[in-house]
């Protein structure tokens, strides 16, 4: 009886606390910062769920921003007065303003005269020209005014703008989807940070007034209050850097594990074994110095950054050489066209960079948060570092230099993406020193800028590959529909395969009897591809024999 009364009192007190907890949640979210966070989450969610409406809205916003920017530049070039932006040479702002207005006019014509499917793509291509022009202007202005101000920010910003302009003009459809998804993801992340800051403010208090604070103020306050402290930073640094005590022992262990992982990965590639590749990923130690490089960059640790970069570079070189040597002595005949471990790593695309970004963020979070440290094994499997290097050595040994370049590009993609994503997570989670971020921005910019530029350069071949794959898939789908119409709804033939390659379309059908005229199919297929192609039609006959059941 007493036990039942106790349980009843516990349930009653728990029920009584529920309204208080709900009221606390409402109170924590009843400020402008939390409301902005909810709006950011809602906007990011809508952008991801409604891509068609998003493209139309983005087009309208881009046109409006270009008109505003162009008018401001022309006004500044004529009067010398400016309300927004930095003051630069007035003679440079005049052509930049005209370029903005011309780009806005071109996008407006495309919006109202073209189809909705291609408007944003063409718009981004035109915008790419404008951004590239602005980047050239920024670089020239930084060089001209190098005696009056630090030209590093201008050079970095101009170079990034030029790279972005080239990407937007070269692969507009890929850049559209990438920018929209990235903006939506950033909106979601910022929204969750703002809401988390509101809950932290309700429980711990803060000196920032949510009614007047900007998003930048809130983010700085979040970084300051997320600081793990000197002791916590030292403990985490011990797992990222091979330093004293026992520095030589740590280095020896690292090199032993690297050699073993490369050997496992090379044998797995030669045997075309996915299971063994996973084993090589689990024991590969390259993730540690890459995360260490990110941590050194955001903390302003120059020596550690240099040591981590040298360790990654030397480890990659040794991996390629070791894989080359193992392949030279292995008594195995390698098929470079059918080996799945090679084929899957010689043509990287933007999906590989997105995977590496997510894996780098997860690895950095697991490093900072000890409660999820066990997840680092999953990160090692998600983003392959040693297997691409093994493929480079195997391909070099076989004289497949193009495939070797593709595998090396995959490793470089993973490396750069992990560094950038991990650096961002280290800043948000408090591993980066707030003092360094506030007082050494130029030093940090100098170390981050090359990775940003390299990421932009890498994105060009990745997006070209993605664009080519997407176009091929769309054309194969169109050709398959054309073949189905050519056969007719009542045909007994089945489409076995459809392949579209430069200059040729290959179609294989299976069924009994005679198919329709191949010439009519060749004429119909020409409308599905931009250039003249030959048709290779393969008909696999089917002979059906029916033997009735014996009577009685």
Closest C-alpha among 59, 166, 40 to residue 119: 59
pLDDT one-digit tens code per residue, 317-335: 999 999 999 888 877 667 7
Closest C-alpha among 165, 174, 195, 159 to residue 39: 195
- In Å, what is the CA distance from 332 to each residue of 261, 326, 335, 467? 20, 11, 10, 35
DSSP single-letter state for residue 148: T
What is residue 57's predicted lDDT score, i.e. its pLDDT? Answer: 67
Average of per-residue pLDDT across 49-56: 66
Choose the weakest-confidence range: 34-48, 142-156, 255-269, 296-310.
142-156
CB contact set of 364 (below 8 Å; sequence gap of 6+) = 291, 294, 421, 422, 423, 425, 426, 429, 431
Average of per-residue pLDDT across 385-395: 88
What is residue 88's predicted lDDT score, i.e. its pLDDT? Answer: 57
Q: What percent of the chain has pLDDT over 70?
A: 80
Q: In whole angstroms, give the CA distance from residue 162 to residue 164.
A: 5
Residue where the block lists tokens 């970084």: 223
Q: In whole angstroms, give the CA distance from residue 350 to residue 449.
A: 21
Q: In whole angstroms, give the CA distance from residue 143 to residue 152.
A: 9
What is residue 148's predicted lDDT score, i.e. its pLDDT? Answer: 62
What is residue 352's predicted lDDT score, i.e. its pLDDT? Answer: 80
Residue 150's pLDDT band, with cuts at 50, 70 and 90, is low
Q: Pairing state of beta strands 504-511 and 494-501? A: antiparallel
CB contact set of 144 (below 8 Å; sequence gap of 6+) = 89
Contact 379, 311 (CB under 8 A): no
Average of per-residue pLDDT across 240-265: 85
What is residue 44's predicted lDDT score, i.e. its pLDDT? Answer: 82
Closest C-alpha among 518, 500, 498, 521 to residue 508: 498
Q: In whole angstroms, give the CA distance from residue 458 to residue 349.
A: 10
What is residue 147's predicted lDDT score, i.e. its pLDDT? Answer: 65
Q: Supply the mean pLDDT for the chain.
A: 76
The CA-based angle 532-533-536, given to 5 degrees, is 160
What is residue 277's predicted lDDT score, i.e. its pLDDT? Answer: 81
pLDDT one-digit tens code per residue, 58-111: 667 767 777 877 787 777 777 766 554 455 566 667 777 787 788 777 767 766
Q: In whole angstroms, give the CA distance from residue 245 to residue 233.
A: 17
pLDDT one-digit tens code per residue, 411-425: 888 888 888 888 888
Closest C-alpha among 297, 302, 308 to residue 444: 297
pLDDT score of 537 more than 90: no
Choose the weakest-confidence range: 253-257, 284-288, 411-415, 526-530.
526-530
pLDDT score of 149 more than 70: no
Give the dihedral sign, CA 343/344/349/353: negative
Average of per-residue pLDDT across 516-530: 80
- For the chain, first and last CA: distance in Å? 80
535: β partners: 505
Average of per-residue pLDDT across 433-441: 75
Q: In whole angstroms, give the CA distance from residue 528 to residue 521.
A: 11
pLDDT score of 532 more than 50: yes
Residue where the block lists tokens 């809401």: 195
Contact 130, 104 (CB under 8 A): no
154 vs 397 pLDDT, higher one: 397
pLDDT score of 18 more than 50: no
Residue where the block lists tokens 């470089």: 412
What is residue 79's predicted lDDT score, i.e. its pLDDT? Answer: 73
What is residue 16's predicted lDDT score, i.e. its pLDDT? Answer: 46
Q: Which run of H or E residues covers position 181?
A: helix 172-204
Choose the weakest-confidence range: 21-35, 69-83, 169-183, 502-516.
21-35
Choose the weakest-confidence range: 97-106, 291-300, 312-321.
97-106
Residue 3's pLDDT band, with cuts at 50, 70 and 90, is very low
Average of per-residue pLDDT across 284-313: 85
Contact 131, 179 (CB under 8 A): no
374 vs 57 pLDDT, higher one: 57
508 by DSSP, 3-state: which?
strand
119 vs 106 pLDDT, higher one: 106
pTM beyond 0.75, yes or no: no
């Amino acid at each position: 009886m007493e036990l039942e009364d106790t349980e009843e009192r516990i349930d009653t007190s728990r029920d009584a606390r529920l309204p208080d907890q709900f009221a606390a949640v409402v109170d924590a979210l009843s400020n402008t910062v939390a409301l902005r966070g909810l709006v950011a989450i809602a906007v990011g969610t809508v952008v991801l769920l409604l891509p068609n409406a998003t493209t139309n809205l983005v087009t309208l916003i881009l046109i409006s921003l270009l008109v505003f920017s162009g008018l401001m530049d022309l006004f500044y070039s004529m009067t010398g007065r400016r309300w927004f932006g930095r003051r630069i040479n007035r003679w440079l702002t005049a052509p930049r303003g005209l370029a903005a207005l011309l780009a806005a006019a071109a996008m407006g014509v495309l919006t109202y005269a073209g189809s909705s499917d291609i408007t944003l793509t063409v718009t981004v291509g035109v915008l790419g020209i404008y951004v590239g022009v602005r980047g050239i202007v920024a670089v020239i202005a930084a060089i001209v005014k190098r005696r009056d101000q630090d030209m590093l920010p201008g050079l970095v910003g101009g170079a990034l703008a030029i790279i972005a302009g080239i990407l937007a003009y070269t692969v507009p459809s890929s850049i559209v989807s990438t920018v929209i998804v990235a903006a939506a993801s950033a909106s979601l992340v910022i929204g969750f940070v703002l809401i988390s800051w509101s809950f932290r403010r309700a429980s711990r208090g803060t000196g920032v007034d949510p009614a007047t604070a900007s998003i930048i103020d809130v983010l700085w306050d979040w970084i300051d209050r997320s600081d793990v402290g000197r002791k916590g930073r030292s403990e985490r640094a011990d797992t990222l850097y091979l330093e004293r005590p026992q520095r030589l022992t740590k280095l020896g262990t690292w090199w032993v594990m690297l050699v073993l992982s490369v050997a496992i990965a090379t044998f797995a590639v030669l045997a075309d074994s996915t299971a063994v590749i996973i084993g090589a990923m689990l024991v590969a130690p390259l993730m540690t110095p890459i995360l260490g490089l990110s941590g050194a960059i955001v903390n302003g640790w120059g020596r550690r950054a240099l040591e981590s970069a040298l360790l990654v570079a030397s480890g990659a070189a040794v991996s390629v050489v070791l894989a080359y040597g193992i392949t030279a002595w292995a008594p195995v005949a390698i098929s470079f066209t059918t080996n799945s471990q090679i084929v899957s790593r010689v043509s990287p695309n933007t999906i590989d960079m997105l995977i590496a970004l997510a894996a780098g963020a997860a690895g950095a979070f697991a490093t900072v948060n000890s409660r999820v440290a066990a997840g680092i094994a999953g990160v090692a499997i998600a983003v392959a570092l040693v297997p691409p290097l093994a493929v480079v050595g195997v391909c070099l040994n076989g004289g497949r230099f193009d495939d070797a370049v593709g595998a090396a590009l995959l490793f470089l993609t993973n490396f750069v993406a992990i560094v950038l994503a991990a650096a961002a997570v280290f800043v948000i989670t408090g591993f980066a020193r707030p003092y360094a971020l506030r007082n050494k921005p130029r030093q940090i910019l100098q170390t981050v800028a090359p990775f940003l530029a390299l990421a932009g350069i890498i994105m060009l071949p990745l997006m070209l590959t993605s664009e080519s794959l997407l176009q091929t898939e769309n054309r194969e789908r169109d050709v398959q529909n054309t073949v189905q119409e050519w056969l007719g709804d009542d045909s007994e033939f089945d489409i076995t395969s459809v392949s579209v390659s430069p200059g040729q379309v290959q179609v294989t059908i299976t069924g009994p009897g005679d198919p329709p005229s191949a010439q009519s199919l060749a004429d119909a297929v020409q409308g599905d591809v931009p250039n003249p192609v030959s048709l290779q039609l393969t008909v696999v006959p089917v002979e059906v024999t029916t033997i009735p059941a014996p009577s009685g």
